[in-house]
Amino acid sequence: MSVLLINGPNLNTLGTREPEIYGSTTLADVEASVRAQGEAAGIEVACFQSNFEGAIVERLHAARTDGTQFVIINPGAFTHTSVAIRDAFGAADVPFCEVHISNVHAREPFRHHSYLSDKAVGVMAGFGTLGYNLAMTFVIDRLSAG
């Protein structure tokens, strides 16, 4: 069983800036933690981060045929702008959860709209980096149930 964890722009700097919003956990910490959760459940976790919209689109195209059964994605700022990533999920035909570290609904109005949420199985927002683990707990449950 295989899960793909995708992080979008600027999330490679997680843990180094704006700790009052995003905390001090690094992306490497997040990836290791979600991988460990998967390993304990017999699920392989592939991790991908890019600051480029097209690279995320192409990774989603690959997910259609590489055995990915579920995607967990924090699209970063592309959440609020990217019809291309929305369309790529349509083409990939793989279920996904959307994760936001911060509570986007308690922030600026432009962060309240997501181009992905209505296509997601579920959305986590505001639980800090723990949100990735909460989403992974759901995915493990979903995949284990068959």
Say if residues 102 and 131 touch (Cβ distance below 8 Å): no
Would you state the structure tokens that stand for residue 83, as one six-digit string?
A: 């019809």
User: Annotated catalytic, 80?
Assistant: no
Q: Which of 1, 55, 77, 84 binds ligand CA2 (CB under 6 A)?
A: 77
Indicate the residue among 15 and 143 with the shorter CB distance to ligand CA2: 15
Pattern of binders to ligand CA2 over 83-102, x per CB under 6 A?
-----------------xxx
Stretch that binds ligand CA2, among 15-23, 39-47, 59-67, 81-89 (CB under 6 A): 15-23
Cβ neighbours, 10 Å, residue 75: 25
Cα–Cα–Cα angle for 11, 35, 92, rounded to 5 degrees: 70
Number of residues that bind ligand CA2 (CB under 6 A): 16
Say if residues 114 and 90 touch (Cβ distance below 8 Å): no
* Closest CB 17 distance from ligand CA2, rounded Å: 4
Q: Is 132 exposed, middle or buried (0-12, 13-18, 19+ CB in 10 A)?
A: buried
Distant-in-sequence, close-in-space partners of 127: CB < 8 Å, separation ≥ 6: 101, 134
Q: Which of 104, 116, 124, 143 binds ligand CA2 (CB under 6 A)?
A: 104
Assess 11 for contact with ligand CA2 (CB under 6 A). yes
Binding site for ligand CA2 (CB under 6 A): 10-11, 13-14, 17-18, 22, 74, 76-77, 79, 100-102, 104, 111
